[in-house]
Chains A and B, each alone.
Chain A
């Protein structure tokens, strides 16, 4: 499928005749990035898949009313982030497991996960990330793995650049300390 710009995709979607083609283009451009954004927060593939499907259906239902105030990319990321946080909060409420047990569970879960083949360092990094507050984890992932600029993160999370820099700095320090202590 030919790669189209955001403007072209939106123009297709706004024309009822080309709407489905426009949505296909949107999926081609963004579904993978959105998946990894969600997966890094959700960890589990099945959870990430469920969240992503909900996100894409939500996007389909509301894209015709997307006003273009923000970039398409920012809008999609915002929906994906909100949907992921809502999912994780619901899951957290159901869970009665303490943080320490959660980390052990995470390690066992990742080791048994057919869709995780990370090294010892990558496993420790995931454990370190799991100990961060949700917002810091989100900011760290977006900066470290997705390499987004602070401006982009600021638009997605609707948080000031200064606050994001502070979040990232704290997160990186904590992760460094944990990984240093646990990786030979």
Chain B
């Protein structure tokens, strides 16, 4: 609070007549006798009926150094449970992929391959022995041209279109 002297000086500069009316500083208002004591008692009676408000954490209060670890404790716990589940799956159910494949019949495998034939690369299938490569017919362009000239009259339009 500023000293009242400064406030009075400021007022004297702005409103000198008002500044001289020292009695005007008192507003003239009164309160009933013992008002403030009764007010306190009345307010405390009313607040006793209100459920106690729960304080929340305050940003200005410095958290202890270990609080970060405490906050992360549940995350660590969850990670440990997940790790335990994964490990137990391997320990108590040690089936390998070969053993799992044995359970698939040859018929099922063939059926699967037929259904998904387009999903496999030819080179890969050859490599795995699933497909036997055949020799590709190398056509001589000049020989084809000569054959076509010699037999052009014997070939109908439809056959020609299919060859081209």
Decide: A122 and B18 in contact? CB cutoff 8 A.
no
Shortest distance in angstroms between A168's beta carbon and chain B's nearest beta carbon?
Answer: 8
Question: CB-CB < 8 A to A45: which residues of B?
Answer: 29, 31-32
Cβ of A179 within 8 Å of any chain B Cβ, yes or no, is yes
Interface pair A121/B60, CB less than 8 Å apart: no
Bin chain B's interface residue count.
35 or more
Chain B hits for A147, CB < 8 A:
1-2, 4, 7
Flag the segment in A53-61, A77-85, A87-95 that touches B. A53-61
| Complex interface: chain B residues within 8 A of A122 (CB) | 23-24, 26-28
Cα separation A57 to B43 with both chains bound (whole Å): 7
A125: Cβ under 8 A from any B Cβ: yes
Tell me what chain A mostly uses at the interface: helix, strand, loop, or mixed: helix
Complex alpha-carbon distance, A140 and B47, angstroms: 33
- Whether the pair B39, A31 counts as a contact (CB closer than 8 A) is yes
Contacts of B147 in A (CB 8 A): none
| B40 interface neighbour in A27, A39, A115, A152, Cβ under 8 Å | A27
- B residues at A contact (CB < 8 Å): 1-2, 4, 7, 11, 14-18, 21, 23-32, 35-36, 39-40, 42-44, 46-48, 50, 52-56, 58-60
